[in-house]
Amino acid sequence: TWRDTYSRLWMLRNCCTAKPERVLIPKKKRRLDEVCLERFQQYSRAFIQSWILQGKVSVDGRVVNKAGTLVSNKSAVEIRAEVPKYVCRAGYKLEAAIQQLNVDVSGKIALDSGLSTGGFTDCLLQHGASFVYGVDVGYGQVADKIRKDARVCVMERMNLRYLPGLPQQVDLVTLDLSFISVLLVMPAVISVMKENATLVTLVKPQFEARRSQVGGGGIVRDPQVHQEVRFFSLHTQLR
């Protein structure tokens, strides 16, 4: 009948005009450093890229020394490098300070600002800190090892200068800041420190010296300026 014919035509029309289903096809090849970051999440991007450049990463048995080399997701990737003590080199800087200044970290609640990958925080934890508040103005740089540690509270996209406070006062503060003077953040830092807390900070002359004292490329080469900045920073913080 005409009704049956109309019904069939209507069904055929719907079939012809139906939108095709989108199917996402995974990339067959990706950058070597991205593959390494996914497979070796315990290492930072900086370490992985450094190892690739040093020829310590092989793909299907062949050494590859370019981070941007495209490799198959099915490829066997191997890293032949000494396992680092900390998630990044910054950990060694703080370790040296702890040893030379005889800083007691064991059982302390700490604030680490300039968190970045988490080298300072990793060092604090390995030296016995009970808990660390990690503050950084950036986002997405923290190593998974640090981000997933129950003893760490990661506070990203947070400008230390405007830190609203912490759930508890801290025994120890470590600072590794860039593009800002440590003097500008001291009011916020002092507000979360216990009365007898310890402060360990890297003083970077290019961010503390007067503009006229900073040379080309943002480098302060004059040893006298180094001493001046160090003296001024120390005595201002002690006021």
Higher pLDDT, 120 or 225: 120
At 60 the pLDDT is: 93
At 212 the pLDDT is: 60
Give the pLDDT band of residue 238 (cuts 50, 70, 90).
very low
* Number of Cβ within a 10 Å radius of residue 134: 26
Query: Hey, which bits of the chain come out as E strands?
Result: 29-31, 57-59, 62-63, 70-72, 77-79, 109-113, 131-135, 152-155, 170-175, 193-201
User: Strand, coil or helix: what is 198?
Assistant: strand
The mean pLDDT value for 102-107 works out to 96
> 7-53 pLDDT, tens per residue?
665 565 555 554 555 544 556 789 999 999 889 887 878 888 889 99
The mean pLDDT value for 193-217 works out to 72
Select from 85, 98, 88 the least CA-distant residue to 174.
98
Phi then psi for residue 21, to 5 deg, are: -75, 135
Q: Which of 63-72, 81-90, 188-197 has the lowest mean pLDDT?
A: 81-90
> 156-181 pLDDT, tens per residue?
999 999 999 999 999 999 998 888 77
Query: Which CATH number is 28-84 given?
Result: 3.10.290.10
- Is residue 44 within 8 A of residue 122, CB to CB? The reply is no
Tell me where in the chain the CATH 3.10.290.10 domain(s) lie: 28-84
Tell me where in the chain the CATH 3.40.50.150 domain(s) lie: 90-202
Higher pLDDT, 234 or 122: 122
At 210 the pLDDT is: 55
90-202: CATH class: alpha beta
Residue type, 10: W
Q: Which of 78-87, 125-134, 212-221 has the lowest mean pLDDT?
A: 212-221
Please say if the pLDDT value at position 131 is more than 90.
yes
Alpha-carbon gap, residue 112 to 74, rounded angstroms: 39
Choose from 34-43, 92-101, 139-148, 229-238 the range with maximum mean pLDDT. 92-101
At 14 the pLDDT is: 56
What percent of the chain has pLDDT above 90? Answer: 52
The mean pLDDT value for 215-236 works out to 58
At 181 the pLDDT is: 78
At 133 the pLDDT is: 98
